[in-house]
Amino acid sequence: MINTPQEQRILQSKLGRVRGLGSTREGVHHWWAQRMSAVALLPLALWFVFSVISLTGSDYASFTAWAGEFGNSVFLVLLVVTMFHHAQLGLQVVIEDYVHSEIWKVGLLLFVKYGSVVFGFSAIFAILKISIAG
Amino acid sequence: MPDNNRPLSPHLQIYRPQITSILSILHRITGVVLSFAALLLAYWLASAAYGPEAFARAQAFMESGFGRFVLFGFTFSLFYHLCNGIRHIGWDMRFGFELPTLRFTGVIVVLTASALTIITWLMAYGHVGKL
């Protein structure tokens, strides 16, 4: 395991050194979460587009009937959760890259994080209300 | 603030635009655009939860000229971000870094995203019979 003289002087384990690296001190977690949510969004987004195609021009009754169907409700909730999570992760990177003023950066990051939770939860409760309360 | 006096690397306008750089920034732009699409989806679902009148208002907005323009932009953004996202996953698996491959996959992504956008809109409004 210990190969070089430099590594011999470091008492911290390799895992310990790798954890918490990077400018945000969270290692590869953000990168990995972005990829995992992207892979999950692939089928969910395609399902959503296909559904919306068939929903074009539908009225209130047919839309709520579609969204209230068990399988559709589940997929909608999964889509909303994954989509807002992925969007939040992506917007975070964009803000970190382009907004250099510390106060604006932190403010925008909070806005995006809280905003995605507020809108994501609103969407989920809307789906549940359509699905359960009718 | 001392932060603002730090030396900067040559900025964007110094470099000649190339397909690789254009498609790279387009991935970010479409990603930001899709965040607004997520807001519209949340509004759409919430309007249906509120009742028929609110849902009718949401539908009226999306069927207006401006609404359709926005939805068309969202459609292309989704397909572009999706196709280029697959390209990104390929890079993560160390595939496709050679410059000719990079250009080729870039062109494929743009063509596929455009085709899927057009097909989606033809399918959506083809069976309703109004565009």
Each residue's pLDDT, cut to its tens digit, for chain A (134 residues) gives: 556 656 556 677 777 777 766 666 666 888 999 999 999 999 999 999 999 999 988 899 999 999 999 999 999 999 999 999 999 999 999 999 999 899 999 999 999 999 999 999 999 999 999 999 86
Question: Residue A122 is nearest to which of B4, B42, B78, comparing CB atoms?
Answer: B42
Asked if B94 and B48 touch (Cβ cutoff 8 Å), the reply is: no
A60 to chain B, minimum CA–CA distance in Å?
A: 6
pTM of the full structure: 0.87
State the average pLDDT for chain B: 91
pLDDT of residue A48: 98
Q: Which domains does chain B have, with CATH numbers?
A: 19-130 (1.20.1300.10)
List the structure tokens of B84: 């280029």
CA-only gyration radius of chain B, Å: 19
Question: Residue A57 is nearest to which of B78, B123, B128, comparing CB atoms?
Answer: B128
Question: Residue B42 is nearest to which of A52, A94, A123, comparing CB atoms?
Answer: A123
Under DSSP, the state recorded for B130 is: -
| A21 interfaces chain B, CB cutoff of 8 Å | no
pLDDT of residue B131: 45
User: Residue A37: enclosing H or E segment and its boundaries?
Assistant: helix A29-55
pLDDT of residue B16: 85
In this structure, what is the dihedral angle of CA atoms B115, B35, A81, A48, given to the nearest 10 degrees?
-20
B43 to chain A, minimum CA–CA distance in Å?
A: 8
- Residues A118, A115: Cα–Cα separation, whole Å: 5
pLDDT at B100 over 80: yes
| A32 interfaces chain B, CB cutoff of 8 Å | no
pLDDT of residue A14: 75
- Residues B40, B77: Cα–Cα separation, whole Å: 14
CB contact under 8 A, B46 and A123: yes
pLDDT at B1 over 50: no
B67 to chain A, minimum CA–CA distance in Å?
A: 13
pLDDT at B24 over 90: yes
pLDDT of residue A41: 98
The class of domain A27-133 in CATH terms is mainly alpha
